[in-house]
């Protein structure tokens, strides 16, 4: 790391702007900052998941995702600088296939729930979808490289599959949606 942060508060954002890594300043509610913030929030939720008792393969996968998300946020913070590639999404697809291979086929929709770890994976999945929507919104005003959107789309799928795998690991079944369950 070339530059070390020795002072955390700078006062440069007190007027409602923030600096991008290229030195430019933008409003804190700009679409690019919304996208960066959503990716950061997702990374934090994955960090919370990593506090759980997880199988080694899941832990390794999520650790890799955290590093990828930091790269993705870095790419968002330096407009025009490419960090992410199709290889990132390919790695997620391989993990998806591996984790999904041990699960029964889905016949119905499932609800978030089961074990705590599985539930946290569902929360991370929904935060991932929000981050994806924020990046899509950014594409309306700025150029965003396709690998960023592809990665977030695959990661949300992976988090869904991980929720199912974590329920199995915890000895729990998926929580199936029962249409009209509470209808009078």
pLDDT greater at residue 1 or residue 88: 88
* 13, part of any domain: no
> Is residue 7 scored above 90 in pLDDT?
no
Instruction: Give yes or no for a contact between 88 and 147, defined as CB atoms under 8 angstroms apart.
Output: yes
Give Cα 81 to chain centroid, integer Å: 20
Partners of residue 70 on adjacent β-strands: none
Residue 36: CB atoms within 10 A of its CB come to 23
> How far is it, in rounded angstroms, from Cα 107 to Cα 101?
15
For residue 72, which of 88, 83, 86 has the smallest C-alpha distance?
83
pLDDT greater at residue 3 or residue 130: 130
* pLDDT tens digits for range 120-162: 999 999 999 999 999 999 999 999 999 999 999 999 999 999 9
* 136, part of any domain: yes
* 56, part of any domain: yes
* 53, part of any domain: yes
* 12, part of any domain: no
Q: How many domains does the chain have?
A: 1
Q: Which residue has the tokens 């006062």?
A: 11
* 120, part of any domain: yes
Q: What are the residues whose beta carbons fall under 8 Å from the beta carbon of 169, sequence distance 6 or more?
A: 54, 55, 58, 115, 117
* pLDDT tens digits for range 101-114: 999 999 899 999 99
* 144, part of any domain: yes
**Cα–Cα separations (whole angstroms), residue 5 to 8, 9, 21, 33, 164:** 7, 10, 13, 20, 40
* pLDDT of the residue at 9: 59
Instruction: Give yes or no for a contact between 61 and 117, defined as CB atoms under 8 angstroms apart.
Output: no
* pLDDT of the residue at 79: 83
For residues 85-106, average pLDDT:
96
For residue 172, which of 110, 124, 126 has the smallest C-alpha distance?
110
Q: What are the residues whose beta carbons fall under 8 Å from the beta carbon of 96, sequence distance 6 or more?
A: 154, 157, 158, 161
Task: Look at residue 2 and give its three-state secondary structure.
Answer: coil
Which structural domain, as residue segments, surrounds residue 84?
27-99+111-173
* 183, part of any domain: no
**CATH number (domain holding residue 132):** 1.20.1200.10
* pLDDT of the residue at 1: 46
Q: What are the residues whose beta carbons fall under 8 Å from the beta carbon of 124, sequence distance 6 or more?
A: 42, 45, 46, 48, 49, 159
- The structure tokens listed for 121 are 């994976």
- The structure tokens listed for 59 are 């832990």
* pLDDT tens digits for range 17-62: 776 777 778 878 899 999 999 999 999 999 999 999 999 999 999 9
């Amino acid at each position: 790391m070339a530059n070390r942060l020795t002072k955390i508060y700078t006062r440069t954002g007190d007027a409602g702007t923030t600096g991008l890594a290229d030195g430019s300043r933008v409003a804190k509610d700009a679409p690019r900052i919304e996208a960066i913030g959503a990716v950061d929030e997702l990374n934090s939720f994955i960090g919370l998941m990593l506090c759980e008792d997880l199988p080694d393969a899941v832990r390794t996968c999520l650790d890799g995702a955290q590093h990828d998300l930091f790269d993705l946020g870095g790419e968002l913070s330096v407009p025009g600088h490419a960090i992410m590639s199709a290889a990132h999404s390919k790695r997620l697809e391989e993990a998806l296939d591996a984790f999904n291979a041990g699960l029964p086929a889905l016949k119905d929709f499932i609800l978030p729930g089961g074990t705590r770890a599985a539930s946290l994976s569902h929360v991370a999945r929904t935060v991932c979808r929000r981050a994806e929507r924020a990046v899509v919104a950014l594409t309306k005003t700025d150029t965003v490289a396709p690998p960023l959107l592809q990665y977030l789309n695959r990661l949300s799928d992976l988090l869904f599959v991980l929720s199912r795998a974590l329920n199995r690991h915890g000895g729990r079944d998926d929580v199936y949606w029962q249409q009209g369950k509470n209808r009078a």
